[in-house]
């Protein structure tokens, strides 16, 4: 049920963004709020003993300068409707709509160590060229890969990590030993 409500709110924000020609702005603001809305602030915004007006005032104090008034009103409506607990899921739905609208695929790129901006750009460009479409990369670090990269786009996984290569080599050695 929460997923359906989040989808409804996310779709509504997306429609407002299209109508008001503010999709790009709303996307950046979703990312900003998702990055800064920590558990402590979320529990304040969802606390039943704090008045709704105080919660909305907190939103204005924190996001008033950085967010469009329509976007801020969207968050206030979620407080009024006691739906603030699904705001991050609603933003995820908005982002999914945004990506679909712009025909952008998500690539989860995992590396063994943090990549510099030049490497990220090079990888991003290679992925867009190989997939023949726009790609948005989500960067992760997993030291267990040892070296190399693992890229996931939808159900497709490209894994050239050292850990994967070692696992394949081990498998080959075991198969050869059993012959």
pLDDT tens series, the chain, 179 aa: 778 899 999 999 999 999 999 999 999 999 999 999 899 999 989 999 999 999 999 999 999 999 999 999 999 999 999 999 999 999 999 999 999 999 988 888 888 888 899 989 988 988 888 888 898 888 999 887 777 777 888 877 776 655 556 566 556 565 666 66
Q: Check the CA dihedral 125-127-133-137 and report its sign.
A: negative
Residue 110 in contact with residue 142, Cβ under 8 Å?
yes
Phi then psi for residue 41, to 5 deg, are: -65, -40
Note whether 45 and 58 are within 8 A (CB).
Answer: yes
What residue ranges of the chain are covered by domains with CATH 1.10.520.20? 2-100
The pLDDT score that the predictor gives to residue 60 is: 94
Model pLDDT, residue 155: 77
pLDDT confidence of residue 170: 57
CATH number, span 2-100: 1.10.520.20
Q: Which pLDDT does position 2 carry in this prediction?
A: 78
Residue 149 is encoded by which pair of tokens?
């990269």
Residues pairing with 151 in the sheet: 109, 158
Q: What is the pTM of this model?
A: 0.75
Residue 58 has what pLDDT? 93
């Amino acid at each position: 049920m929460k997923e359906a409500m989040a989808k409804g709110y996310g779709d509504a924000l997306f429609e407002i963004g299209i109508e008001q020609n503010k999709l790009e702005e709303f996307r950046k603001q979703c990312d900003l709020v998702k990055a800064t809305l920590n558990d402590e602030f979320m529990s304040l915004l969802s606390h039943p003993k704090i008045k709704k007006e105080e919660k909305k005032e907190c939103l204005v104090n924190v996001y008033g300068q950085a967010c469009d008034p329509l976007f801020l009103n969207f968050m206030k409506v979620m407080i009024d409707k006691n739906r603030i607990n699904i705001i991050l899921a609603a933003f995820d739905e908005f982002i999914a709509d945004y990506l679909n609208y712009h025909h952008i695929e998500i690539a989860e790129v995992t590396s063994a160590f943090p990549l510099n901006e030049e490497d990220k750009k090079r990888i991003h460009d290679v992925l867009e060229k190989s997939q023949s479409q726009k790609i948005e990369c989500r960067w992760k670090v997993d030291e267990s890969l040892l070296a190399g990269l693992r890229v996931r786009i939808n159900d497709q996984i490209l894994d050239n990590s050292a850990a994967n290569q070692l696992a394949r080599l081990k498998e080959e050695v075991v198969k050869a030993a059993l012959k």
